[in-house]
Amino acid sequence: MSGIKFHSEHDMASGWELRKIVEMVENKAIDSEWGITDLLDFHNVLKYINIKKFSNHIVQKTSIDIKTFEKKIKQKIGIFVGCHKDNFINLYDEIDFDNTEDFFEVLESYKLLYQRIEIDDFRRFLEKENVHIYTVLKFKRLTEYFNEAVKSVLLSDSRNAETILSKYLKENDLYLPPSLNETDILSLIDEYIDSPLVHINVLRKIINFPPNKGLSIPDKIKLHAKRKAEKEEEKIFNNDTGIESGVTISYPNDQDEAILFTMDGSTADIKVSRKWIEENTDFPTLWNNFIYLFRFVDDNMRLEFDSKKSESSALESVIRPQAEHLYYQSFSFYFKEMLSNAEIHSYFSVLNILGVRLEEMIEWFFDYYLKEEFQINDFIVKMPSSEASYFEKCRTILPEIDRVFKQYNTLIEDGVIDQELIQMSSSSFKIKDIKSFNKMKYVYSSSDWYKTASFLLFSDQSSIFYLPNKDERYENFFQLIISEKLTRSDFQAYQLNTMQWLFDNDLICESNMGHIQFVDQRVIYVLKELYYREVMSYWHYSEDLQLLIEELNSRNLVDFETSLFSRNEQDYFDYYLNKSKFTNGHDIRNKYLHGTNTNDEKQYEIDYYLILKLFVILVIKINDDLCIKEDKCQ
């Protein structure tokens, strides 16, 4: 008999497991002589029986009296446990790795079993090669009862620092022995940093370890990890195992096209027409170049170079550290940042040659353009002078970002900008609190329906789009369906079982010819936008799509939020300006405010261009917000 595993009520493998349970019932497996594997199988069968829809399915398929069956299972488990109460722990060597958690689950459930084990015997058990301390830590009563044994084994190997860190970062539900104190843990982490088996991603976790997690890692240990990480990175790149990428950007005089973009492997070559820029030096066009030439935003005014999970491969998602307190930095994100940084730096230089300062363009937008286009008065923004050093420029421009935020919020709340009122407050704004004139501005989804639909349709990890008899290889189910005429017979049974969810939820259907097709292309488009872009800007879509989005919202399948920036855009600003949300952030605002910046003129220059880029994004987003407001009023 194949092993029975229970993962969750909603796991896609439940149907397969239920078929095996039905087979067990029909073959009267419960009446056979049990070994430890049989015990663990029936332990999992009880979990399925305890869920009504599963127990109903078993009854429907077998006509068994489910209550009698459940009682018999419990009796046989009790008999088995009673017979092996003195040697249960020795049965561990007879099980497969997949059954280890079930083994400890049963062990923890019966005091009769674990209270008969001597502490030293359990310590020796934990030291066995096929026993993993990580699994034991999932069980609170075992960890507490064998407190000293578990602590001893944890501290015997510095690699266990990885497990302890994952517990505090809430990456897994683990328990630590009560006698393990913070001094023990910090000593183990410090020892781990010097270990030859240290992992660079774990070093990054130590460096960026957040506050308020129940463990306080001192700056000395973080610095120790930072220096070790630098050495490890040097080893990686010295061995030529890194991925080479780059950006070249030029401004030829004889190019007719406004911009030419080509890729050679991982290197981008950008050619921007110098003639185009020289012939169009009015400020509105120079501003539009950020949108239509450099593509800082897409056609719906969503930021292009924020971090998106959909742009990472499954492998990259595994090897790069992920946590709520870390801004996710995929290869795609690094590349887009390299691209946009090269664009802002080079464009700034070309504009200077033409006698135009980007700082003047920013002041023009707030002082002149807002008055002329939107009748908004009293917006004050002061940019650094051209003579100032980069350090002085950074110190001058950063407070102006906060001032813009405060003025814009006041404008939305009161309809006018009262500078005296603004000056009453010295507190800074959180990026997420910057308001918008437009209700229902952004569309998101976190519903279970969306998660299942988007995974099946667009993920390259879905199991339903790989057809071995097709020469063409597609990235996901969506591409397969729009590219091929397929019927149910083209798919394997296990794929059809999974696809049934899409049929049941009216996302796919069969045509008159029996071909699988999408029920409503508009719904698929909304799902595709949310999967790849992670947000929709409601007012930039057709009225037809807006009505569909509202209908999905009425069914609690999507949500609306109102703010100047989308969630991803908020995260992007937070990542660069502070560390309030992401401990791996650049913290530019606080570095210059509190004097913790480096004494490096080159770094001041890099920071200044980055701040200018944030200001450009801010201008684009404010202009878009005001344009939407005007369009709605017409």
**pLDDT tens per residue, range 400-451:** 999 999 999 999 999 999 888 888 877 777 899 999 999 999 999 989 999 9
User: pLDDT at position 481, please?
Assistant: 95
**What is the SS3 assignment for 246?**
strand
User: pLDDT at position 241, please?
Assistant: 47
Length of the chain in terms of residues written: 634
Mean pLDDT (whole number) for 32-59: 91
**What is the SS3 assignment for 375?**
coil
Terminal-to-terminal C-alpha distance of the chain: 70
**Cα–Cα distance for residue pair 361/375, rounded to 1 Å:** 18
Residue 396 tokens read as 């001058």
Strands 536-537 and 442-444: antiparallel
Q: Using alpha carbons only, give the angle 272, 273, 278 rounded to the nearest 5 degrees.
A: 120
Higher per-residue confidence, 63 vs 233: 63
Q: What are the pLDDT digits (tens) for 124-137?
A: 999 998 999 999 99
List the strands of the sheet with 246-250, edge to edge: 246-250, 267-272, 259-264
Residue 165: partners with Cβ closer than 8 Å, 6 or more residues away = 189, 202, 205, 206, 209
User: pLDDT at position 633, please?
Assistant: 65
pLDDT at 631 over 90: no
Asked if 188 contacts 164 with a C-beta cutoff of 8 angstroms, the reply is: yes
Confidence class for position 316, pLDDT limits 50, 70, 90: low
Closest by CA position to 113, among listed 148, 78, 144, 140? 78
**What are the E-state strand segments in 189-266?**
246-250, 259-264
Q: What are the pLDDT digits (tens) for 365-389?
A: 999 999 999 999 999 999 999 999 9
pLDDT at 322 over 80: no
User: pLDDT at position 244, please?
Assistant: 56
Low-confidence winner among 242-246, 386-390, 617-621 (lowest mean pLDDT): 242-246
What are 423-429's contacts with CB under 8 Å, separation 24+?
A: 428/402, 428/589, 429/402, 429/405
Q: Is 453 exposed, middle or buried (0-12, 13-18, 19+ CB in 10 A)?
A: buried
- Between the CA of residue 632 and those of 100, 123, 297, 539, what are the distances in Å? 61, 71, 21, 9
Q: Which H or E run includes 576?
A: helix 567-577
Asked if 527 contacts 450 with a C-beta cutoff of 8 angstroms, the reply is: yes
Residue 540 tokens read as 């930039």
Q: What are the pLDDT digits (tens) for 143-156?
A: 999 999 999 999 99
User: pLDDT at position 204, please?
Assistant: 86
Confidence class for position 258, pLDDT limits 50, 70, 90: very high
Q: What are the pLDDT digits (tens) for 465-510?
A: 988 877 678 889 999 999 999 999 999 988 999 999 999 999 999 9
Higher per-residue confidence, 457 vs 328: 457
Q: What are the pLDDT digits (tens) for 60-99?
A: 999 899 999 999 999 999 999 999 999 999 999 999 888 9
Low-confidence winner among 14-23, 195-204, 359-368, 423-432 (lowest mean pLDDT): 423-432
The conformation of residue 385, written as its DSSP 8-state character, comes to: P
Asked if 508 contacts 500 with a C-beta cutoff of 8 angstroms, the reply is: no
Asked if 284 contacts 364 with a C-beta cutoff of 8 angstroms, the reply is: no
List the strands of the sheet with 536-537, edge to edge: 536-537, 442-444, 559-561
Phi/psi at 21 (nearest 5 deg)?
-65, -45
Confidence class for position 1, pLDDT limits 50, 70, 90: very low
What are 501-505's contacts with CB under 8 Å, separation 24+?
A: 501/452, 501/456, 502/453, 502/456, 502/457, 505/449, 505/453
Mean pLDDT (whole number) for 265-271: 87
pLDDT at 123 over 80: yes
User: pLDDT at position 597, please?
Assistant: 66
User: pLDDT at position 618, please?
Assistant: 98
The conformation of residue 369, written as its DSSP 8-state character, comes to: I
- Between the CA of residue 390 and those of 387, 393, 618, what are the distances in Å? 9, 5, 21
Looking at every residue in the chain, the average pLDDT score rounds to 90
Q: Which amino acid is at 299?
A: D
User: pLDDT at position 318, please?
Assistant: 58
- Between the CA of residue 126 and those of 139, 177, 538, what are the distances in Å? 14, 14, 56
